[in-house]
Structure 1
Amino acid sequence: MTQDKPLAGKVALVAGATRGSGRAFAVELARAGAIVYATGRSSDAKRSEMDRPETIEGTAAKIAEAGGTGFGVVCDHLDREQVRDLVARIESEQGRLDILVNDIWGGDHLTKWDAKLWEYDLDNGFRMMRLAIDTHIITSYYALPLLIKNPGGLVFEVTDGNTEFNAQYRDDFFYDLAKVTPMRMAFALSKELEPHGGTALALSPGWLRSEAMLDHFGVTEETWRDATKNEPHFCMSETPTYVARCLVAVASDPERHRWNGKSVASWDLAPEYGVKDADGSQPVFGPYYRDIQEPGKPADPTGYR
């Protein structure tokens, strides 16, 4: 372990790493020295139901570009046998698992904003629950016996919003459940892992400039500010690298157990650890949303990034 490789010797599984924050988690963990197994359904051979161009092979290539060691593994985390075999592979090849990042989602195309429960397509709603909740449970079920073999194991349940942010209704019955449930999962796992010297917490990005979000606004990472012409509050968006750097900061913290059972976001952790986004800024989206966006004030990031 060195200052620039604080996670050397550690093994991480990032479940749901094809794109967005999951891809960034895999890259930044590898950059910090961890051996990373990055999983996803979309491959060069076949796209998932998300029908996005990013692939798990692309994530593996990003890890290599960062000078890290990692493996892109095609895995459907609703398929118990695939997850069981994945964990067996990690145990066979590495003999340990130190960090589990449950980042599986894949429900964007199923959301129906502002529709009432009785106006929803139930099949779509339950599919979202399976993708957002069942996948996390199945992955933890198979991965945690390996993780607890060594003290100090760490689990991140990735969601959207911290405790304060998710106290509000998220304008979609199923989406609301999908994003609140991982917070409770982290709390429950914090109790179950504690006797084994483990830590579990829920982690959220702010307004994420994912590949899909950039496409939604018709911009690129280089031109993202152009999107503020139509959505001024997008001035507070952040790259996936930001929350990934926060995750690495927690994983590298010898006192990380202080976060056990908590639900935190990039805007909580970045000031605590001095983490900066790729452009050197430090956006604190939660306070901005509370003070500026939610009350309907004109967009102004001054003092918030």
Structure 2
Amino acid sequence: MTAQAPVAIVTGASRGAGRGIAIALGSHGCTVYVTGRSEKAGDHALPGTIYATAEAITRAGGKGIAVRCDHADDTQVQALFDQVLAEQGRIDILVNNAAAVYDELSMPGNFWEKPLKLADMIDVGLRSSYVASWMAAPAMVKQNSGLIVMTSASGAAHYSMGPAYGAHKAGVDKLAFDMAVDFRNAEANVSAISIWMGALATDRLLAMIEADPEKYGYLRNQIETPEYTGHVIWALYNDPALAERSGQTLIGAELGREYGITDEGGRQPPSYRDTHKVVPHQHYPLIIR
């Protein structure tokens, strides 16, 4: 921790989970860099832009800074990190949330019957999380502090919307585990954690529930606000025992309960452990170098 406001980068934050997480971190006084491709209305079928998110962060009490960045382009990602370090001199929190999510992901059919573009989720999701972490790690190791978070979900451990989605979620869980091994090997006080978010009250999910209430209506009693995970991340960042959790995949609702964080209306979101009867995979401690 420093006297300077913590500096966070939240990727894929024009809307949805990223937007909520970024605003929540702003409410705790963070300087938050917001990345995404949506700069104006109409850039995406769903509402939301990087500038609108940045303004909401500032209104919440932080400082929002929008940076247009396509996370499929490593050159643009490098420019983002160069800008953050030039302007702030440090990176305290990186939230890897960018992903290529298409409507066809939840449509009926087997994976070969859906568009091949769904494989983009492995590039802008799994690979982009690796790239952003690779670029953040040197600064975090040098300052000997930092937290890298992967936004994940229970689809890492059971079938959910096909192999592209599952590979992304399972992959980021494993990224967090392996990155933590390397940070410990470097004797760096940097942590990597993957968080299973619950069903989120995003424009996309709310539209899905409205379009097919028979199939998705049950989610109304389970959804979390997109900001909830941001408050959980802030609590993790300030946890003196954070290093002991590094490498773990944790259920956001359970972390919230542990830290005493409630969602809108004082409600406590349910855990996948209860609703789906699933928990994150436990990785073996064996290390081969």
Same fold (TM over 0.5): yes
Q: Contact 2:28 / 2:61 at 8 angstroms: preserved in 1?
A: no
Q: 1:171 to 1:85 in 2, by over 3 A?
A: closer
CA RMSD of aligned residues (A): 2.4
Worse overlay, 152-161 or 107-116: 107-116
- What secondary structure sits across from 2:142 in the alignment? coil
Per-residue deviation at 1:229? 11
User: How many angstroms apart in 1 are the aligned matches of 2:46 and 2:256?
Assistant: 30
Q: 1:187 to 1:31 in 2, by over 3 A?
A: same
Matched residue type, 2:87: E
Q: 1:9 to 1:174 in 2, by over 3 A?
A: same
Aligned to 1:249: 235
Aligned to 2:286: none
Q: Contact 1:203 / 1:266 at 8 angstroms: preserved in 2?
A: yes
Q: Does residue 1:206 correspond to 2:198, yes or no?
A: yes
Summarize deviations over 1:146-190 as a string: whole Å, max 9, x none. Answer: 2222112110011122xxx63322241211111111000111111
Q: Contact 1:114 / 1:172 at 8 angstroms: preserved in 2?
A: no
Aligned to 1:22: 18
5+ residue gaps in structure 1? 220-226, 292-305
Aligned to 1:224: none
**Out of 53, 66, 73, which is 1:79 matched to?**
73
Q: 1:78 to 1:166 in 2, by over 3 A?
A: closer
Per-residue deviation at 1:248? 1.1
Q: Does residue 1:154 correspond to 2:140, yes or no?
A: no
- What secondary structure sits across from 2:48 in the alignment? coil
Aligned to 1:41: 37
Matched residue type, 2:140: L
Q: Does residue 1:263 correspond to 2:249, yes or no?
A: yes
Per-residue deviation at 1:196? 1.4
Summarize deviations over 1:228-287 as a string: whole Å, max 9, x none. Answer: 997134212111122221111111212111211111122220111011002111112313
Deviation >4 Å, runs of 4+: 227-230
Matched residue type, 1:181: G
Q: Contact 2:34 / 2:67 at 8 angstroms: preserved in 1?
A: yes
Aligned residues: 274
Aligned to 1:91: 85
Q: Does residue 1:139 correspond to 2:132, yes or no?
A: yes
1:44-123 aligned within 5 A: 44=40, 47-48=43-44, 51-111=45-105, 113=107, 115-121=109-115, 123=116
5+ residue gaps in structure 2? 278-289
Q: Contact 1:17 / 1:103 at 8 angstroms: preserved in 2?
A: yes
Matched residue type, 2:136: A
Q: Contact 1:18 / 1:42 at 8 angstroms: preserved in 2?
A: yes
Aligned to 2:281: none
Q: Contact 2:101 / 2:118 at 8 angstroms: preserved in 1?
A: no
Q: Contact 1:266 / 1:284 at 8 angstroms: preserved in 2?
A: no
Aligned to 1:283: 269
User: How many angstroms apart in 1 are the aligned matches of 2:80 and 2:60?
Assistant: 24
Summarize deviations over 1:189-231 as a string: whole Å, max 9, x none. Answer: 1112222111001012111111211233349xxxxxxx69971
- What secondary structure sits across from 1:201 in the alignment? strand
Q: Contact 2:27 / 2:60 at 8 angstroms: preserved in 1?
A: yes
Q: 1:7 to 1:277 in 2, by over 3 A?
A: farther
Aligned to 2:282: none
